[in-house]
Structure formats: C-alpha cells, structure tokens
Amino acid sequence: MIKPLVSILLPVYNRERLVKKTIESAINQTYKNIEIIVVDNQSTDKTYEILKDYAEKNPKVRVYQNEENLGPVRNWIKCLNYAKGEYIKILWSDDLITPTFIEKTLSYLIKYKDIGFVFTGTEIFNEESEQKNKAYFIGDTGIYSTEKFIEGILLGGPFPVSPGNALFRKKDVKKNLLLEIPNKIGSNFKMNAIGNDVLLYLLTANEYPNFAFLNETLSYFRAHSNSISISTNKVDVTILYYLAKAYFVENYINEKRLTRKFNTKLFLNLLRHKSNKLGVKSIRDFYSDGVKTGIDFVYMLQVIINKIKIFFNKQRKQNL
C-alpha cells in the first residue's frame, strides 16, 4: 500500500538564528513519505543560504525564494501552491514538532473522513527566560464535535488559533486559507497575518462534523520578540482576531444564542480597550452589515462573576 504524501510547509523570513532547529524537526519525522516546502520571503540575513544547504543534502527539502517580499500571508499561499501532498502541515519558522507528529496525526485523517483536522497538545517556550507553558489541552485523546471547537474559539477556551499544531487536508487549506478578510475598518489582513490562521480552523470546522485531538505534547511554539503575534500590540492582536471571528459569525453562524454570547465577549473586550489604535469603538464596527449586534445580559453577568472568582482565587493563593 502506497502511503500518502504529506507536505510540510515552512514559510520563512529572517530566521537565520532559529530555522535550523525548525527544519531539522521536519526532516526527522518517523513518517517518511513527506516533502518539505520552504519559501523564503526575500530574507535580508543568511536564512536563504542556510536553507539551500539543507536542500542540497536532503532530497525531501525543496527551497524557493520570492523575487520580492510578498508579505506573510501571500508567502503562506506560495508554499501551498508548490505542495504536492494530499495532507498539509504548516510549520512556522520559529516552531518545532516532535519526530512522531506526522505519524500520529495522519492516521486520524486517513481513517476518519468526517474529521476536518487533527491538533495536538503544545508547549509554548521561551529560550531566553526558560519559561515553559502547556497549551491547547482540551481533554483525552479522541474525536470531538466541531460544535465544541467553534464555540470554544468564539467564546474563549483552550483551543488553538494558529494551525502550527495541526494537520489538514490540502483541499481544505486551499479553500479556507483566506488571503484577505473583508472588514469595515479597512484592516489589511494579508499583511497583518493575524486572523487568517484562526479562520482556517473555523471555516474547515464548519464543513465537518468532527475534529480530533491528541493529548500529547507534539508541537512546540517558540515565544520571542520577533514573532508576529508578540511584535504586534497585544490589544491590536486581540481585536484583529475578534474581527476575523466576527466575519465567521456574520457569514456562517445562524444561531442567535451563540451570536449574542460572542457579541457579549466583544462588548466586554471593548470596555477594556476603548482607546485601541485600530479605531474600533462598538460591536457594530466588527460587522460589515451591523445587523448581528445584540448581546446576552445573563451571559455577561456569568462572565463577570467568573472573572471576579478567578481574581479572588489568585489573591488567596498569593496570600497563602
């Protein structure tokens, strides 16, 4: 039986200090029928030279360089266009995967056609501070309803927004990795590269009844000052993700209960960040037509009470 080809996509820009460990984590997969597609977005350091050296030594590695810097999201799509595999693993140039990542996640997508994607537990680490945190652990290894995923993403839960810890089918990535996200405030998502990632998850989840989760640390996200999410203002990051989620709610969610709860989260976030640089002032600004703007006051009270409980629990632990 011929094993399916998996394409590991590695879009990269100015990562000479980090990219060796990243590409080696791709090369060292126990599942051998892989190709590693690397597209350098006109790096100004030695990244491209480092990657060419890997390509010369390993036939699984194919390295390309853009004639000009295309911006991050266009570079992601450029990687995808070079890929020949039936399955896609996006590996950000500052992250790592364990040797068994492809082997363990692929088995679910092959066996279960009603699963849209598989994601794994993750460790977020900072080499400078040596701080390590576990993330995106939602329960036991197994198959879950995508309703759980969609609600968790929209209302807040231990679900990933970055596909860096997931495996997808190529056909779904080609369809659901959007270059631009329509929005009222004129935000340039193809250059922000914040929000397109979570929409890949949401749009794919919307087309399948289930997803799979592996309760193992098979992915490692590096926290550092040059990453897109950290180098961008935290308030802007939050609002950009909410804009992307609002696009999904406006176009794909017909359930009033979930929409009103999501709007409640928007409202509470705006109370915290009234003076954001993006100029978002009301729930209406998140939507193109401004129709779905009702909120759930009972849910708001529950959220506030829960936050108060969390605050006092932290205070009590600090005083012990």
**pLDDT (tens digit, 9 = 90+) per residue, 304-319?**
998 888 877 777 777 7
Residue 278 tokens, joined? 């993006």
CB atoms within 10 A of CB 310: 10
For 261-267, what is the mean pLDDT? Answer: 94
Instruction: DSSP for 233-244, please give it.
Output: -HHHHHHHHHHH
Q: What is the pTM of this model?
A: 0.92
For 176-202, what is the mean pLDDT? Answer: 94
- The per-residue pLDDT for 317 is 72
The number of angstroms, rounded, from the C-alpha of 214 to the middle of its chain's C-alpha atoms is 16
Nearest alpha-carbon partner for 92 in 190, 161, 184: 161
pLDDT in tens, 19-56: 999 999 999 999 999 999 999 999 999 999 999 999 99
pLDDT in tens, 85-142: 999 999 999 999 999 999 999 999 999 999 999 999 999 998 777 789 999 999 999 9
CB atoms within 10 A of CB 97: 24
For residue 15, the SS3 value is coil
**What CA–CA distance (Å, rounded) separates 46 from 125?**
24
Residue with tokens 């506030």: 304
Whether the predicted pLDDT of 230 surpasses 50: no
Determine which of 61-75, 124-138, 248-262 has the lowest per-residue pLDDT on average: 124-138
pLDDT category, 290, cuts 50, 70, 90? low
- CA angle (241, 246, 250) in 5-degree steps: 160
pLDDT category, 231, cuts 50, 70, 90? very low
Determine which of 185-189, 195-199, 273-277 has the lowest per-residue pLDDT on average: 273-277
User: In Å, how far are 24, 122, 135, 144, 223 from 218, measured between CA atoms?
Assistant: 15, 6, 11, 19, 16
Percent of the chain with pLDDT over 70: 95
Bridge partners of 117? 168
- The per-residue pLDDT for 320 is 64
pLDDT in tens, 132-160: 999 999 999 999 999 999 999 999 989 99
Whether the predicted pLDDT of 224 surpasses 70: no
Instruction: DSSP for 116-145, please give it.
Output: EEEEEEEEEEETTTTEEEEE---SSSEEEE
**What are the sequence ranges of the domains in the chain?**
234-319
